Each structure stands twice: as structure tokens, then as C-alpha cells.
Amino acid sequence: MYHVLNRGVGRAKIFEKATDYDAFVRVLTEAQAWQPMRVLAYCLMPNHWHLILWPKKDGELSEFMRWLTVTHTQRWHAKFHTQGTGPLYQGRFKSFPIAEDEHLLTVIRYVERNPLRARLTTSADRWRWCSLGQRMQALAGPALTDGPVARPDGWLDWVNAPQTEAEVEVLRRSLARGSPFGTESWQKRTAERLGLQSSLAPLGRPAKKSKDR
């Protein structure tokens, strides 16, 4: 499974009005119809969005995201009559793999809690452009998959409960570097299998070896 993210170029707003958010939800739903993709969670924010996707085979994630972002960009420019003015997104989407254990629930909680953390709503389930809001309010949107790890009882209370800075920082670090999110041993195995070893390497230049005199 993958946590996928993209932002507006220069962190500019992508969504100004409710109709802008609704338009992206429609494109996401159409993308799922064009290429079936298991969507575990999503959340739209003013200048970025999060998706948690579970592709069935290699290459499926890239194809799905290409169709989604290209289609949304084309429709966004057509709506605002801004064709030829430059890109909508800052670049290619970012993604990192997630382990099929409690780490998955941690990421889903982080994603679905985003609007509450940003003070866009007083309760996470009231933000309609999010998988949690879609489920709780029975709204139209993409087909949502529960995934391999069941949400515990009291999920809404847990999502609405405050997160520590340490919890948020661990996730943001994985997101910034594109590194796998799971136990240390799983991270190493997954990074080696997917060629992501550099995402786990310490930041900064390696220390220079002293020369023998």
C-alpha cells in the first residue's frame, strides 16, 4: 500500500470553493472506474491532497496517478481559463510504501485527521472531502476499501484525539523522503526490494576519512 501526495505549484491553492473539491472527487471516482484501484483513504486540503492506495500489480499506481493528475489538471485549467499558464502541481506525485500492520492505521489516521489538525473543521468526520466524511455522511465518492487491517472500535474518537508532535514528525519524515513506513526490519527489506535504499540513508555528507600521515 502507498501513501500518495501532491501539492499545488508554489504551494498555491488548488481548491478555493466547494465545487473545486467536488470536481476532484469526481475525477478520482472516474479514475477508479477507468482503472480499478483500491482506495483505502483520501483527504483533500486547500493546496494539496492525500491518497492511500492499494494497487494489485506493478505499474498500476503510476498509470492511475498519471490519469488522475492529467485529467484533473486539464479540467482545472479549462474551468478557470488558464491553459498555457503553467503547471497546476509542483511536480510528479510523491509516495511511500506502508506496512500491512498497525502502521497502516497510523497513516490513515494522519490522513483523515488533516482537516482537524489544520483547523478547517471542528470534527474530522464533518470534512466532506475526505474518506472519513464520505463514510460517516454517506456521501458520493470513490469506492472505499477497508484494507487488510481492520479499524478498531472507537475509530472516530481516535482520529479526533490529539496527536503528539513525535507521531506527526515520524510520518512527515517518511513523506518528505519517500521512505517506507513500518518496522525497521520491514523498512530495510522493502527499500531493498523497491530500490529505495537512499531514502533510509542518513542526511548530510558522509564523514571524510582521515589520511594517514
CA dist., res. 86 & res. 89, Å (int): 9
pLDDT at 68: 97
| DSSP state at residue 88 | S
Q: Does the residue 201 lie in any domain?
A: no
DSSP string over 55-82: -SSTTHHHHHHHHHHHHHHHHHHHHHT-
Identify the domain containing residue 156 by its residue range. Answer: 2-193
Residue 198 included in any domain: no
Q: Of 173, 149, 174, 140, give the one whose Cα is nearest residue 29.
A: 140
Write out the chain's pLDDT in tens, 213 residues.
999 999 999 889 999 999 999 999 999 999 999 999 999 999 999 999 999 999 999 899 999 999 999 999 999 999 988 876 788 998 889 988 999 999 999 999 999 999 999 999 999 999 999 999 999 999 999 999 999 999 999 999 999 999 888 888 888 888 788 889 999 999 899 988 888 877 777 755 544 444 443
Q: Which of 151, 94, 91 is nearest to 125 (CA)?
A: 151
What sign has the CA pseudo-torsion 15, 121, 38, 199?
positive
The verdict on residue 204 lying in a domain is: no
CA separation (Å) from 68 to 160, 162, 169?
29, 32, 28
Q: Is residue 81 part of a domain?
A: yes
Q: Which pTM does this prediction carry?
A: 0.89
Residue 211 covered by a domain: no
Q: Domain for residue 16, yes or no?
A: yes
Residue 209 has a pLDDT of 47
CA distances from 142 to 23, 26, 34, 198 (A): 12, 8, 12, 34
Q: Write the pLDDT tens digit of every residue in 81-109.
A: 887 678 899 888 998 899 999 999 999 99
**Residue 210 belongs to some domain of the structure:** no
Any domain includes 207: no
Q: What is the CATH number of the domain that holds 20?
A: 3.30.70.1290
Nine-digit cell at 49? Answer: 491532497
Residue 39, classed as helix, strand or coil, is strand
| pLDDT value of position 207 | 45
Per-residue pLDDT at 193 = 86
Q: What is the pLDDT of residue 40?
A: 98
Count of domains for the chain: 1
Measured distance CA(57)–CA(76) in Å, rounded: 30
